[in-house]
């Protein structure tokens, strides 16, 4: 397989349970097939000399390269922040689920990996900063007030209103007969 960044041949190596492709003679980028990255994104996952060597390379990304193509599907990959590290941009193929990390990005992901609590807090902050979310939240509050007002002023035209009054009337009469 050819490296999507520098087009040199990639070599398959075992990172301790996950076999990944590394651009060993080029940019030192790493290709993860579907699901493999999740086996190595936290500290203390994986082992071996190949993983240690990959983690020791400094972070380097060719900013002039533009969009890269998936080495398996040959379609443009999507660049986005990694789900558990808000500091690393990764390239993902939405067709096959593969990830390409430039040199040093795996080490950065492992250093900045967020716990579930940190991830939830970060997501809440991102959502809260969106103007659309603020507008939707404001509109929801208005709709709730409107619904309460409609329920209050139309309660006498609902059958349940009269059923409750009739039930109370009969329960008072029943106690008089005892």
Q: Which domain holds residue 29?
A: 11-114
- Give yes or no for residue 28 having a pLDDT over 70: yes
Question: Within a domain: residue 1?
Answer: no
Let me know whether 141 and 110 are in one domain: no
Question: Within a domain: residue 23?
Answer: yes
CA atoms of 24 and 13, how far apart (whole Å): 10
pTM, 2 dp: 0.62
* Number of structural domains the chain divides into: 2
Let me know whether 88 and 165 are in one domain: no
pLDDT in tens, 33-58: 998 988 888 887 788 888 888 888 77
Is residue 37 within 8 Å of 99, Cβ to Cβ?
yes
pLDDT in tens, 108-151: 888 888 878 887 887 788 787 788 888 888 899 999 999 998 88
């Amino acid at each position: 397989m050819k490296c999507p960044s520098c087009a040199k041949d990639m070599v398959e190596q075992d990172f301790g349970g996950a076999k990944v492709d590394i651009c060993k003679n080029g940019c030192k980028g790493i290709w993860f097939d579907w699901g493999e990255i999740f086996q190595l994104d936290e500290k203390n996952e994986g082992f071996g000399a190949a993983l240690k060597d990959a983690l020791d390379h400094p972070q380097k990304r060719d900013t002039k390269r533009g969009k890269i193509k998936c080495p398996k599907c040959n379609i443009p990959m999507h660049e986005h922040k990694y789900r558990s590290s808000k500091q690393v941009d990764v390239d993902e193929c939405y067709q096959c689920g593969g990830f390409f990390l430039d040199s040093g990005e795996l080490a950065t992901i492992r250093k900045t990996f967020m716990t579930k609590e940190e991830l939830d807090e970060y997501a809440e902050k991102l959502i809260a900063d969106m103007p659309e979310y603020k507008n939707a939240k404001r509109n929801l509050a208005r709709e709730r007030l409107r619904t309460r007002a409609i329920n209050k002023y139309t309660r006498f035209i609902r059958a349940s209103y009269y059923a409750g009054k009739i039930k109370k009337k009969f329960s008072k009469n029943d106690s008089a007969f005892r």
